[in-house]
Structure formats: structure tokens, C-alpha cells
Amino acid sequence: MNRLKNDCYLRALLKQPIDYTPIWIMRQAGRYLPEYRTTRSISGSFLSLCKSPELSSEITLQPLRRFPLDAAILFSDILTIPDAMGLGLYFKSGEGPKFSNPISCIADIKKIGVPDPEHELQYVMNAIRQTCKELKNALPLIGFSGSPWTLATYMVEGGTSKKFTKIKKMMYREPIATHLLLNKLANSIIEYLNAQIKAGVHSVIIFDTWGGILTTNDYESFSLAYMKKIINNLIHENNGTRIPITLFTKNSGIWLEKIAETGCDSIALDWTIPISDAKYRVGRKVALQGNMDPSILYAKPERIREEVETILKNFGYTNSGGHVFNLGHGIHSDVEPESVRIFIETVHKISPKYHRST
């Protein structure tokens, strides 16, 4: 893997000396950008965007043409694996993702297999290869997957859910079936992320969007244990370059110490915990990513700048990396791009004073 022109994001995740705090934004390639909406309008469907390597790469690169971001994240969807398993993913306007063939019993679970990432999911790998070619080693490319628990919630519920009654009913009534599903998903994610790394991504994130709906014991058993299994089986170095791994569980503030013990390099935080508290609790064991409330981007420029300063101050001075600035979740679709520009430029302008030279 050739040396990147800007590797600040990777150095921050690996707690190496940096001159400023790097920044990228969850869902930075998406609906808040008019150029995305234009591309989406001519594509036919959201899935057609994800399954076209050319369009996926184009959308991945769109925010980089506007903003001085420190990393690109592949434009894709966390539900690519369930779709490749034959569950029939589709998107209904105003209702989010749905599955034609949801999981309802252990017989359904036994029927699904582990997708071959260079066959059923080759379009993702081709999008990575195309994007790496276009990036020309300018910035790192982030790959990702949903967590086993989060994917399972969609597969059993048949789509998005507010109460998660179906997956919890399966978890409590049929724990053996639930663990069979989660283990099969973990194996699929291992294959999927390792293929992404071989295709060229420089770092990976596991998005555990719905881990926070569980009790502490159930989180450890049905979510965290499987993310740890994935980490233990991922490629940690490719072509002599370390591949940092980030975990993100929404509403995970009470479990930070346990997450830090998984072997991940970084924990992504939502906005419900002060970053100073998180840093105190995990120390230098892992880097931290986050954690501004996405809704701050609705504010006036001075309020955005104030929040950036507060988070940087709360993380504190450091003679090395350990912090990647980000939102605490995905950017809202109706945010003005100008507010995003102010946000990114403020991080780059203010953060150098918080980094001491070694």
C-alpha cells in the first residue's frame, strides 16, 4: 500500500503524533449535498447507487471536492450482507429499508449462507478499488459493516423498528437460534471486512446502531462478544500498514470500558457522554472519535464554532493523537453544506493549539 499524502486520520486512531485533529463526518456522502441528490435522481433507486461501483465511487468522492476532509468513507449500506443472503432488500419511500424474506425461525437461519465477498458482494469490492484509484493516495478510505446484532434486528424485524419486539422475542424465547444467526453474521462480516481491506480500505468501522437497546448482560452476550470475535479475526496489517478498527455502539456510554477491552483501536462516541469523561475512563487504551450532536449544524456559525472549541477543550491537550473529530451520529439530510464547511474549517483552525510538539 503506497504512502498516503494525508494520513492524519490513521495516525490519530493509532495515537501517534499529529499537528491537528483530523475530521470526517458520518454519512458525509449523502442527501445533504445537492450533487448527491442529482446523482440519486438519475440512478433509478438507492440500491442501484450502492450496486454500481462507478456511482458509489462518485458519491464517495463528492464531499471531498467540497470540503478539506481528512478521510473518505465508502458510500454503501450496512444491509448489503443480509441482501446477499437472499432476504430481498428494498427501500420504500418514507419508510426506510425492508426485507421481502425476513428471518422468523431457526429453519430460516439454517438456510442462509455466508456470502462470498468477491461474488455476491463483488460490487462493493469493485467500488473500493475504483475509489482508491480515484483518490490517488490523497486520503485514507474507510470501509465498514453493520454489527451482527444490528444486522439481525433488521433481518428479524423485516426492516426498521421502534420497539424491536420480534428480535427481542427471538432473543429471549429462542436464544440458541439467535446465537446461530449472530454467529453466522459475524463470520460473514469477517469475510466481508477482510475483503474490503484486501481491496484497499485503510481502516474499518463496525456500526452497532442498535446495541444500545439491550441490557448490560444482553449487550455483552448478544452484541459485544460477536464484535470481539470479528476484531480477533480481522486483518490488522495490509502491505506493511496497520489497519485501525473502530467500534460504534449508539448509547454505549455505560459500557466504554468493556468496549475498550475488545481489542479495537478506537471507540466512536455519540453526543450523550462528554468526551472528557470518556477519555478519563478509557485513558490511552483506545482513541476516541466524535462527538458533536449533528443538530448543532442547524445553528448559526458562532454556535458551531463554540461547540467545536468546547469538544476540543474537553478532550484536552495532547502530545500525540487519540481524537478524531466527528458527529455523534450521521449528518441530517437537511443541513446546509455551508454549515458543514464552517464546522470542518473550524476544527482545522482551532485544533492545532491542542497538539504539543513531541
> Would you tell me the crossing angle of helices 165-173 and 175-199 to the nearest 10 degrees?
120
- Is there a contact between 164 and 210 (Cβ–Cβ < 8 Å)? yes
Please indicate whether residue 154 is annotated as part of the active site.
yes
31 annotated as a binding-site residue: yes
28 annotated as a binding-site residue: yes
Length of the chain counted residue by residue: 358
Catalytic option among 70, 77, 83, 208: 77
Please indicate whether residue 27 is annotated as part of the active site.
yes
178 annotated as a binding-site residue: no
Please indicate whether residue 116 is annotated as part of the active site.
no
In whole angstroms, what is the distance from residue 74 CA to residue 121 CA? 14
154 annotated as a binding-site residue: yes
Catalytic option among 20, 32, 40, 265: 40
Neighbours of 74 (CB within 10 A): 23
27 annotated as a binding-site residue: yes
- Beta-strand pair 241-242/237-238: antiparallel
Q: Where are the beta strands (DSSP E) in the chain?
A: 72-73, 89-92, 96-99, 141-146, 203-208, 237-238, 241-242, 245-249, 266-268, 287-289, 323-324
Catalytic option among 9, 20, 154, 219: 154
> Would you tell me the crossing angle of helices 175-199 and 122-135 to the nearest 10 degrees?
30
86 annotated as a binding-site residue: no
30 annotated as a binding-site residue: yes
In whole angstroms, what is the distance from residue 297 CA to residue 258 CA? 31
Please indicate whether residue 281 is annotated as part of the active site.
no
Cell 458510500 locates to: 75
Positive or negative: CA dihedral 106, 171, 227, 77: positive
In whole angstroms, what is the distance from residue 144 CA to residue 319 CA? 29
Catalytic option among 27, 66, 129, 242: 27
9 annotated as a binding-site residue: no
225 annotated as a binding-site residue: no
Catalytic residue ranges: 27, 31, 40, 77, 154
| Residue positions forming the annotated binding site for substrate | 27-31, 77, 154, 209, 329
| Residue positions forming the annotated binding site | 27-31, 77, 154, 209, 329
